[in-house]
Amino acid sequence: MSHELRSPLMTLTSSVAVLEARRNELSERSKTALDLLSIDLSRFSRLVEDLLEISRFDGGVASLENSSIKIHSLVSATLRTLRIDSSILVELTPISDLYVRGDKRRLGRALSNLLTNGIQHGGGITAVSISSKEDYVEIAIEDAGPGVAESERSEIFDRFSRGSSAGRRGDDTGSGLGLSMVHEDIRLHGGQVWVEDRLDEKSGARFIIQLPMMEEIGSE
């Protein structure tokens, strides 16, 4: 299935790249059509990759490439990749170095999905905090959006769920798989993810990732 889906996508992507290289030779109408095609192709490619990953979860073949991960470094790197001001990162624990054992790619993707969700649908990220609680590390991401109704706080992690506000998002190009993949990636690590109200009682959502902390601090 992977080959059958990826092969035509590679052909389409190569064809679009050829057209992009000769963009100056196109009419304005053709340029507009090319832009729309590029956007839809990019979205379709992401959807295919997400669906293939979901199939691995369902088939029980999703694996972890575990290593010792310094949480502060992982969060900071993800903020830089998404060009989010790192000054919003707050450490609420006296322990400067918190480590988990996990798959850096999957955990990075989970963080990226939550941050992107807050940027696109939550009015922007207002705070990211790291803390320890008993034997767990918690990463909290707060946004400035309308928040998530209590009745939807479980179902937003379901596949293809976009919440009650999806119909009002005119620029929403998401597949509805982002949060469900966050849930699956965190579950593979023996952790949890949930959403609640912001602690300062202002409008917005607070997404929390909870992961088992390493008993012994290793190298990053």
pLDDT for 61: 67
Q: Provide the CATH topology of domain 66-212.
A: Heat Shock Protein 90 (3.30.565)
Q: Residue 187: its pLDDT value, please? A: 93
- What confidence score (pLDDT) does residue 177 get? 82
pLDDT at 22 over 60: yes
Indicate if the pLDDT at residue 91 is higher than 90: no
- DSSP bridge pairs for 208: 140, 194
Helix 178-188 to helix 28-59 angle, to the nearest 10 degrees?
A: 30
Q: Which residue, 193, 218, 197, is CA-closest to 206?
A: 197
Mean pLDDT of the region 69-81: 95
Instruction: Name the residue among 176, 134, 143 with its Cα closest to residue 158.
Output: 176
Please check whether residue 75 is in contact with residue 93, taking contact to mean a CB–CB distance below 8 angstroms.
Answer: no
Residue 142: its H or E element: strand 136-143
User: Higher pLDDT residue, 46 or 70?
Assistant: 70
Cβ neighbours of 77 (radius 10 Å): 15
In the predicted structure, residue 166 carries a pLDDT above the cut 50: no
Q: φ, ψ for residue 180 (rounded to 5)?
A: -65, -35
What is the per-residue pLDDT across 170-218, written as a single tens digit (0 to 9) for each? 344 456 688 998 999 999 999 999 999 999 989 999 999 999 998 655 4
pTM for the structure as a whole: 0.75
CA distance 168 to 145: 13
Mean pLDDT of the chain: 85
Residue boundaries of the structural domains of the chain: 2-59, 66-212
| pLDDT score, position 145 | 94
Placement of tokens 């059958």 in the chain: 4
